[in-house]
Amino acid sequence: MLLLSPAVNYWTTLLNFIIQKYFIDSHATCILWHRDFPFELQTPADSEFIQYINIWPDNLSQSLQQDIYNFTAFNEIQRDYGMQLDALVQKLTIAIRESHCESFIAFQQDIPVFTRSFYNASRISVWRSLRNKFLFVYRKDLQQDTGTAAYFDDFLFIDQPNILIVEAECGNCSMLALKTNKFIGPLAEHPEQLYVLDHYNALSDKFELGVDLYMDKIKDLQGREVTAGVFDYRPFSVLDFNREPQVKDNNPENLRGTVHLDGTEVRMLFALCEVINCTVQADSSDKTDWGTSYANLTGDGLFGLITERKSEYIVGALYFWPDDYRYLDMSHFIGRSGVTCLVPAPQRLTSWLLPFRPFQFTLWMGVFASLLLETLALFFTRRLAPSDNEPHYSLLESFQFGYITTLKLFVSQGSDYVVNSNTVRTVLFACYMMDTIVTSVYGGGLSAILTLPTMEEASDSVERLYRHGIPWTATSPDWVISFRGEGDDIDPMVEKLLSNYHVYTYEQLTEMAKTENMGFILERLAFGHFGNVGFLTDESFKRLKLMVDDIYFQYCFVFVPRLWALLSKLNDVILEVHSTGLDIFWEWEVGAHYMDGQQQEEIQASMYMDFDVGPVKLDMDNFVGLVLPLLIGLILSAFAFIGELIYFKYTTQKKEKNTEIEERRISELKIA
């Protein structure tokens, strides 16, 4: 730095005092140097290091080319987003993102340039801070025709509380005025107005009042308005134009200008305003969806209310969505929401395999093994058992006796075989006893299956939803943003579920819920209630059941503008509410006041619903499976009949041919 004149040392003494006392805890301080304010930045007496970034507004273009940071690559990325940033925005963005600047100093005509650039820079930068402080220095003798208000008419002086302005009449004046913005009070009373906070006498190096130059203005906002941007999404947020009490509604389409505002997440704002004395307002503009924040610092839906400066507090089961968090700020979590589905209830199971269902597979194997054992026993006893009254049977005759008798006994039919051997009779009696027990057990099991209907497997878990491959749906693609996650490595099950997800309107969902074989998304709150139930009707409840688990869950947050001054206080209130259990009470009270309690109970009960498995009247569905043996028998008998015809025709032709040959041979012998 150049050697400073005594007059300039006035600035050096005061500004270094402010920096060393109030900026020492900042990660870094950005200084926009000005040629008419060449103060010397000094190291504190206790030798604490002050990290600062030098920005020269008079030489921004050249400094970009000489900077160690690659601004060319940064500009190419921003151009891809459709943005053309000026040099100061680029400098501030990188200073905030890379050096974590939390304190900023600007002089004279650079003040309005800085305030216009700072908000864009802070939103483009990923890094953000809740401790930003601003120091603006100007001299009245250097002002042009524009008045003092031209320096301080930006939104920054409305939104930020930690602003200090050092004002001097001239460069050599020893009496310096310290001003700040009012910040508190209703917006109609112009919180951006400046007032004198203290005076500094450079000759005596003393402050007149010695007040805190960066006082806590947040502790009492004296009725300053905070606008909540919501749509009616119960129980998270409730908008009702008929209920009382009502708050001011900034929606120009609402001719009454007021609306009833409530909800589990809106009450967190009411709690905040109880603590810091602010006034809650609403903006019920036609925003029926959450929307999206874009890289060009615009947005739609609820997020558009923030980018349009219509709201500072938006809620409605907002999950952690990285694309939106990049350009906005979030609070601590205010609740938990699980994404689950109402899926088609299991239907009564009718199957061609009904005759086989009374026994399990292993038991059927045992039955077939016992039938095989019976057949072999009857075969050997018929073939080998001695008897004076029976002839000696061949192997084929013994085998036919064994398997035919076994089958007839198994279906409780008599046999026309004459049996004289006591050995065979004994084996027949044992087989008869065993088959009688098996058929009795089978008959009892079949009766139970016929009169007590069996239900098919429902898609009521994530694994079964994936395995059955049924589609599932909601009204927005935002439902699966968190489920999809980031990166290219997607779990195959997640990828399959995402391919089955579809987006429809509420009207379409209402109709589909009555007929379609698909899942319909609900939100399961932390303490037992359900959201996103507007499409459900009594008819749809008859055919849907709740999944036993969540497809995924997310914590819900409040989204606020970047650098929102009340965010730190809001986070403190959120933690206090969680610790006292008020959020449990709020959910149950809001659910009782604004939602259909019977509907909520039906949703919960559908997960364990008794599908009337008592005795029912038999109908043709009960006997569909019993037709299978008849069909198989008819088909096999038809093939057997055709086979017998072919065999008979073949043997007849062969016999006739042999007869002709024999007759010809005899004739030849006679002639000879």
Q: pLDDT tens digits, residue range 101-140?
A: 999 999 988 999 999 899 889 988 888 888 999 999 998 8
Residues 6 or more apart whose CB falls under 8 angstroms from that of 554 comprise 319, 320, 336, 337, 339, 482
The arithmetic mean of pLDDT across residues 388-415, rounded, is 78
Q: Which residue has the tokens 């927005």?
A: 476
Q: How far apart are CA 5 and CA 8, in angstroms?
A: 5
Residues 6 or more apart whose CB falls under 8 angstroms from that of 229 comprise 282, 283, 285, 287, 302, 305, 306, 310, 311, 313, 314
Cβ-based burial of 393 (10 A; exposed 0-12, middle 13-18, buried ≥19): middle
Query: Is 619 a residue whose pLDDT tops 90?
Result: no
The DSSP H or E segment spanning 168 is strand 163-168
Report whether 469 contacts 496 (CB < 8 A): yes
Collapse the DSSP code of 424 into the 3-class scheme (helix H, G, I; strand E, B; otherwise coil) and give the result. Answer: helix
- Angle of helix 110-124 relative to helix 87-99, nearest 10 degrees? 50
Look at 51-60, 384-393, 535-544 and tell me which has the smallest mean pLDDT.
384-393
Query: Is 147 a residue whose pLDDT tops 60?
Result: no
Q: What is the model's pLDDT at position 611?
A: 52
Average pLDDT, the chain: 85
Q: Name which residue leads in pLDDT, 135 or 64.
A: 135
Query: Is 614 a residue whose pLDDT tops 70?
Result: no
Q: What is the model's pLDDT at position 613?
A: 53
Single-letter residue type at 246: Q
Q: Name which residue leads in pLDDT, 280 or 168.
A: 280
Q: Which two tokens stand for residue 154?
A: 């930006």
Query: Is 22 a residue whose pLDDT tops 80?
Result: yes
Q: What is the model's pLDDT at position 446?
A: 77
The DSSP H or E segment spanning 481 is helix 481-484
171-180, 212-221, 292-301, 489-498 — which one is most confidently predicted on average? 212-221
DSSP 229-268: E---BTTTBEEESSSSS-EEB--TT-TT-EEEEE-TTHHH
Cβ-based burial of 343 (10 A; exposed 0-12, middle 13-18, buried ≥19): buried
Look at 293-307, 345-359, 375-389, 644-658 and tell me which has the smallest mean pLDDT.
345-359
The arithmetic mean of pLDDT across residues 361-380, rounded, is 87
Residues 6 or more apart whose CB falls under 8 angstroms from that of 261 comprise 228, 230, 237, 238, 239, 246, 247, 280, 282
Query: Is 424 a residue whose pLDDT tops 70?
Result: yes
Query: Is 280 a residue whose pLDDT tops 80?
Result: yes
Report whether 351 contacts 624 (CB < 8 A): yes
Q: What is the DSSP letter of 388?
A: S
E strands present in 440-518: 472-474, 501-503
Q: Name which residue leads in pLDDT, 672 or 235.
A: 235
Confidence of residue 6 (pLDDT cuts 50, 70, 90): very low
Report whether 501 contacts 471 (CB < 8 A): yes
- Overall size of the chain counted in residues: 672
Q: What is the model's pLDDT at position 161?
A: 95
pLDDT, tens digit, for every residue of 182-235?
999 999 999 999 999 999 998 888 999 989 999 999 999 999 999 999 999 999
Q: Name which residue leads in pLDDT, 491 or 23.
A: 23
Query: Is 84 a residue whose pLDDT tops 80?
Result: no
The arithmetic mean of pLDDT across residues 637-646, rounded, is 90
Q: What is the model's pLDDT at position 187?
A: 93
The arithmetic mean of pLDDT across residues 348-353, rounded, is 67
Q: What is the model's pLDDT at position 225?
A: 96
Confidence of residue 63 (pLDDT cuts 50, 70, 90): low
Look at 74-83, 312-321, 620-629 and tell me which has the smallest mean pLDDT.
620-629
Q: How far apart are CA 349 and CA 497, in angstroms?
A: 25
Report whether 243 contacts 205 (CB < 8 A): no
